[in-house]
Amino acid sequence: MALKVVGSGLGRTGTKSMQTALNMLGFGPCHHMVEVFAHPESVPLWIEAGAGRPEWDKIFAGYNAMVDYPGSFYWRQLAAHYPDAKVLHTERDPDKWFDSTQATIFAPGSPTTMSEGPMATFFDSFLNNIRGHLHDRAYMTAHFRRHNEEVKRTIPPERLLVYEAGQGWVPLCKFLGVPVPDAPYPSENSKAEFVARVAAMKKP
């Protein structure tokens, strides 16, 4: 099974809502970071990908789409490996993105701060280039802007949708060539929901 949609947007750009939206539109199952936690057997494959030995078809076996980390780190490779896939780039205001990361994925005590074990190696495989700067607003917002511009510069416009949270179904459905559902666009993974999920994961 080849991916039909490659998500190039970084985490905390509405990717969890987008995962649900793509599932609703018939492009699921859609891979998202939560799938890694649900399927820890995939962690060694991601570590291998970080070491330059990716097996994308194994990693995404059973999936039709991908959004969020860790896949978004490899957006260029995945767009090349799945040449028929559309590229969906989620983004938001850089400062709001930074603030969101500090309360969630990069907050002290979050899974990304692990310092030993397979999960620490897993997170280092795609965060090592920014590991020392996670709490530096100027550095991280510049990193975010560079990433966004690189995607837009690299992917042909006819293959790319730049999507900002709040735009709803219409641009997404037009891009994917499917009808607009008779249901509200999903809204998931708020800061409170993220914190609650992490707390639940830490319970023995």
Q: How confident is the model at residue 200 (pLDDT cuts 50, 70, 90)?
A: low
Q: For 39-159, where are the alpha helices, taking DSSP H only? A: 43-50, 56-59, 75-81, 94-103, 118-127, 137-154
Q: Rounded distance, CA 89 to CA 202, Å?
A: 31
**Closest by CA position to 74, among listed 92, 60, 95:** 60
Taking Cα atoms as reference points, which of 148, 151, 144, 44 lies closest to residue 102? 144
The two tokens of residue 204 are 């023995």
pLDDT for the residue 46 = 98
Q: Taking all residues of the chain, what is their mean pLDDT, rounded to a whole number?
A: 92
Place 53 in a pLDDT band, splitting at 50, 70 and 90: very high
Asked if residue 166 lies in contact with residue 120, where contact means CB atoms within 8 angstroms, the answer is no
For residue 192, the model assigns a pLDDT of 54
Q: Is the pLDDT of residue 191 over 60?
A: no
Q: Is the pLDDT of residue 197 over 80?
A: no
Separation CA 30–CA 96 (nearest Å): 25
Nearest to 151, CA basis, from 59, 57, 101, 86: 86
| Degrees to nearest 5, angle at CA 129 with 41 and 156 | 85
Decide if pLDDT at 202 tops 70.
Answer: no
Domains observed in the chain: 5-98+115-187 (3.40.50.300)
Q: What percent of the chain lies above the pLDDT cut of 70?
A: 92
Q: Give the mean pLDDT of 2-23.
A: 97
H or E stretch covering 66: strand 65-66
What the block records as the tokens of 15 is 């990717």
pTM: 0.90
What pLDDT shows up at residue 116? Answer: 83
Rounded to an integer, the average pLDDT of 91-115 is: 92
- Which amino acid appears at position 28 of this protein? G
Question: pLDDT at position 204, please?
Answer: 56
Which pLDDT value is given to residue 8?
98
**Across residues 59-67, what is the average pLDDT?**
98
Q: pLDDT value at position 189?
A: 52
Region 39-51: mean pLDDT is 97
Q: Name the strands in the sheet holding 86-91, side by side, starting at the edge strand that comes first in the sequence.
A: 30-31, 65-66, 5-7, 86-91, 160-164
Give the pLDDT band of residue 24 (cuts 50, 70, 90).
very high
Alpha-carbon distance of 59 to 125, in angstroms, equals 15
Do 25 and 173 meet the contact criterion of CB atoms below 8 Å apart?
yes
